[in-house]
Amino acid sequence: MAASKILILGGTTEARKLAEALAPRKDLDVTVSLAGRTQEPRPLPVKTRHGGFGGVEGLAAYLKAEDIALLVDATHPFAQRMTPNAIAAAELTSTPLLCLNRPGWVAEPGDDWRMVTSIEDAVEKLGAASRRVFLAIGRQEAHLFSRAPQHFYLARSVDPIDPPIKAPDCRYILATGPFSLDDEIRLLTEHAIDVVVSKNSGGAATYAKIEAARRLGLAVVMVERKRVDGAACVDTVEGALAFIDHALAPAK
């Protein structure tokens, strides 16, 4: 029997772990798709493709041409275009779809989170008075803080922030997680940071900054994630493996 084809929309630790778990399976033919933004992605043990599909129609055409039996959207919880595209393309082509969306972080006693629903709201939330801000929101939207040039920004990203923030006092750091609590406390203290801006991405690799903010008594402007409607969702790789076995089991 021909192996069932799975397309994983990736760019996350969970997509990598799922691909690693599925790679040895002879009954499956797995491809991971990456947006092509990270300059040097770590190699994966399955086929990979890079770059956008060309919107919903492009993804739908790919699903048909490649005869994909199951589409797994394991993109980042803040990848805002790919998830709706995946839902629409799966519907157009009647391809089963699973969303793998890791759980968000939950505030603990001692956390001082100021919830916002977008990066634009986060910019507003910083207020008029000058503050020392740690930006840990990735590279694509950091430029929106150009609207509030009165603040000092320490901006950390995996790849260079582009376009840059138009503010007179900015420092950029290139680094890839995971980050340790001690290092995060040191970084926030060295730069006299008084507020952290973060997306509620969930996951362990970048949680230390949230814990560091709690320990140091700093406010966190936390960007909430949007709900995913219109697809079956699991929040762990184990859940995805169980779904895949169920969805692709031969009919008896």
> x/- contact string, 130-169, with ligand NAP (CB under 6 A)?
--------x-x-----------------------------
Q: Which of 4, 5, 6, 11 binds ligand NAP (CB under 6 A)?
A: 11
**In angstroms, what is the minimal distance from the CB of 142 to ligand NAP?**
11
Candidates 5, 6, 7, 9; binder of ligand NAP (CB under 6 A) is 9
Q: Tell me how far, at minimum, the Cβ of 87 lies from ligand NAP, in Å.
A: 12
Residue 12, interface with ligand NAP (CB under 6 A)? yes
Residues 41-80 that bind ligand NAP (CB under 6 A): 52-55, 58-59, 75-76, 78-80
User: Minimum CB separation from ligand NAP for residue 10, in Å?
Assistant: 5
**Comparing C-alpha atoms, which of 37, 167, 13 is closest to residue 102?**
13
Q: How many other C-beta atoms can be found within 10 angstroms of the C-beta atom of residue 186?
A: 12
Contacts with 31 (C-beta within 8 Å, 6 or more apart), sequence order: 5, 6, 7, 8, 46, 47, 48, 49, 66
Residue with smaller CB distance to ligand NAP, 5 or 194? 5
CB of 58 to ligand NAP, least distance (A): 6
Q: Segment near ligand NAP (CB under 6 A), from 9-17, 112-120, 168-176, 236-244?
A: 9-17
Chain position whose Cβ is nearest to ligand NAP: 52
Whole-number Å distance between alpha carbons of 189 and 149: 22
Q: What are phi and psi of 156, to 5 degrees?
A: -115, 135
Measured from the CB atom, is 199 or 209 closer to ligand NAP? Answer: 199
Residues that bind ligand NAP (CB under 6 A): 9-12, 33-35, 37, 52-55, 58-59, 75-76, 78-82, 85, 138, 140, 199
